[in-house]
Amino acid sequence: MTKKKSHKQTQKINLIFDEKDRKDFLTGFSKRKTERKKKARDKIMLRAKEEKRILKAQKRKILQELLHGHVDPLPDATTKEVTAVEEPVTYDMPEHTVTVTALDSNALYGDVCVGNNTFDELDTVIADAGEIDAKKNKIRELEQKMAECSQAAIDKLHKKKNRSRRRKSKKKDD
């Protein structure tokens, strides 16, 4: 006895082979690889720019504090001097006349003056100078961080290049 054939017929699969699609797929490996490299490079550079922007904002803030936080002690000193003006004293001698006047820094240099040194003002000036020096040091540190940030991003990019070069040269040696 013979076996009965199944009534289910297997459908034939008809493949259409497109040479152009095949070529795009095979050459797409390098394209996709370069896209990944470009995205990574852009991401690193974007991160470096963002960090630089933050550091610049901090630097700008410190500079604004230095500029607006500076208190000029001259107006107080000049008002004290104006209220306490001494009259000149004249002495008549037999051969000549002597006039004694009190000299202050405004009389000597006009409006250009450092101000009178007093103990209280000197302490505040020294304290302010210490704060100013600390802020200037902070600005220098921020500038160094910005330079390091840029250099770190460049180093990361070159590190990846060098790593792939080392691998290629290693394969050639084997």
Express each pLDDT in 132-167 by its tens digit: 888 888 888 888 888 888 788 888 777 766 776 777
| In a domain? residue 111 | no
User: Of residues 64 and 85, which shows the higher confidence score?
Assistant: 64
Select the more confidently predicted residue: 3 or 21.
21
- pLDDT the model gives residue 85: 60
Which residue range forms the structural domain that includes residue 142? 37-69+127-173
pLDDT for residue 26? 85
Has residue 17 been placed in a domain? no
Tell if the pTM clears 0.85, that is, is over it.
no
- What whole-number distance in Å separates Cα of residue 73 and Cα of residue 56? 31
Closest by Cα among 70, 66, 62 to 143: 62
Percent share of the chain, pLDDT over 90? 6
In a domain, 56, yes or no: yes
The one-character DSSP state at 166 is H
**Contact call for residues 156 and 87 (beta carbons, < 8 A):** no
Is residue 63 one of the residues assigned to a domain? yes
Pick the residue with more confidence: 108 or 32? 32
- Which burial class, exposed, middle or buried, applies to 77 when counting CB atoms under 10 A from its CB (0-12, 13-18, 19+)? buried
Q: What DSSP line would sit under 44-106, residue for residue?
A: HHHHHHHHHHHHHHHHHHHHHHHHHH----HHHHHHHHHHTPPPPEEEE-SS-EEEE----HH
In a domain, residue 15? The reply is no
**Does residue 137 form part of some domain?**
yes
More confidently predicted of 64 and 7: 64
* Count of structural domains, the chain: 1
Q: Please check whether residue 152 lies inside any domain of the structure.
A: yes
pLDDT on residue 112: 59
